[in-house]
């Protein structure tokens, strides 16, 4: 039996006296695409950061492969986990090429410069997200959508096993939302590289289209996770969002809408 890329055992997460989840047991396996859903402020980002090792859990454990996440060197974690934050913050000026090449830093030795292969990966990622020819543009001249695409290209250049994405479709128009989520799909579906993804989404129908497993945060520590086809129901979504939801039949299955 293959070891899960990431698993939790009796995981409890808290922030500012609020319980995000309690006793969460789950396993993220290669090839799986997980969605993380819940209302604003329920703790989705906090849970994602905890799974990335950016903050400690209140209880329980997280394993990255066979090892405890907290016991691994940060460089090892950065080679295996790539994190897309909710907001893009450019603390220092730089070009698009300099930014996308930062995705290779976990793979470089001390004082080592990027090589031809690193540049090839960076250029391919920029081409994938439609930013070819932008290499010398200053990042602070990009639009919000272009900056989001650059952040995703940087993550693709990093080439981790596990993608953890906080609202990856922020600032993106419908065309770029679909094209970039398809790119992520292709990387996860590539069985030779044993990858998986977890992403926070606010669009239920993007979750139904691009996620095969879901984590639902209801508040006060209640969490439900499992295959999307088992837990995506009108009743569950109505309770999750505290607002009536209806389902209408679409070309690829049910489409969920607020009533």
Q: Cα separation of 200 and 204, whole Å?
A: 10
What's the CATH class of domain 6-91+160-258? alpha beta
Residue 31 is predicted with a pLDDT of 96
Structural domain boundaries in the chain: 6-91+160-258
pLDDT at 253: 79
Task: Convert the pLDDT of each residue in 98-154 to its tens digit.
Answer: 999 999 999 998 888 899 999 999 999 999 999 999 999 999 999 999 999 999 999
What is the predicted pLDDT for the residue at 230?
93
Of the pLDDT bands very low, low, confident and very high (cuts 50, 70, 90), residue 87 is confident
> pLDDT for 186-196, tens place per residue?
999 988 889 99
Return the HEC string of 127-161.
HHCCCCCCCCCEHHHCCHHHHHHHHHHHHHHHCCC
- Per-residue pLDDT tens over the stretch 122-137: 999 999 999 999 999 9
Interatomic CA distance for residues 190 and 196, integer angstroms:
10
Residue 151, burial from CB neighbour count under 10 angstroms (0-12, 13-18, 19+): buried
- What is residue 77's predicted lDDT score, i.e. its pLDDT? 96
């Amino acid at each position: 039996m293959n070891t899960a890329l990431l698993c939790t055992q009796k995981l409890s997460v808290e922030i500012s006296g609020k319980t995000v989840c309690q006793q969460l047991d789950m396993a993220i396996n290669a090839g799986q695409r997980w969605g993380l859903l819940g209302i604003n402020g329920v703790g989705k980002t906090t849970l994602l950061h905890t799974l990335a090792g950016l903050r400690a859990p209140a209880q329980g454990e997280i394993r990255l492969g066979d090892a405890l996440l907290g016991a691994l060197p940060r460089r090892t974690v950065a080679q295996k986990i790539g994190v897309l934050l909710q907001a893009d913050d450019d603390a220092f000026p730089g070009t698009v090429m300099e930014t996308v090449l930062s995705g290779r830093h976990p793979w470089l030795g001390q004082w080592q410069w990027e090589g031809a292969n690193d540049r090839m990966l960076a250029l391919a990622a920029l081409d994938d997200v439609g930013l070819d020819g932008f290499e010398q543009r200053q990042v602070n001249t990009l639009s919000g959508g272009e900056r989001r695409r650059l952040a995703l290209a940087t993550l693709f250049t990093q080439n981790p096993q596990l993608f953890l994405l906080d609202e990856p479709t922020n600032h993106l128009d419908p065309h770029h939302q679909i094209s970039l989520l398809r790119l992520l799909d292709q990387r996860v579906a590539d069985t030779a590289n044993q990858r998986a993804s977890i992403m926070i989404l606010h669009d239920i129908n993007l979750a139904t289209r691009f996620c095969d497993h879901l984590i639902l945060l209801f508040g006060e520590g209640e969490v439900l996770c499992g295959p999307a086809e088992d837990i995506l129901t009108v009743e569950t979504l109505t309770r999750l969002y505290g607002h009536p939801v209806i389902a209408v039949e679409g070309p690829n299955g049910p489409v969920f809408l607020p009533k």
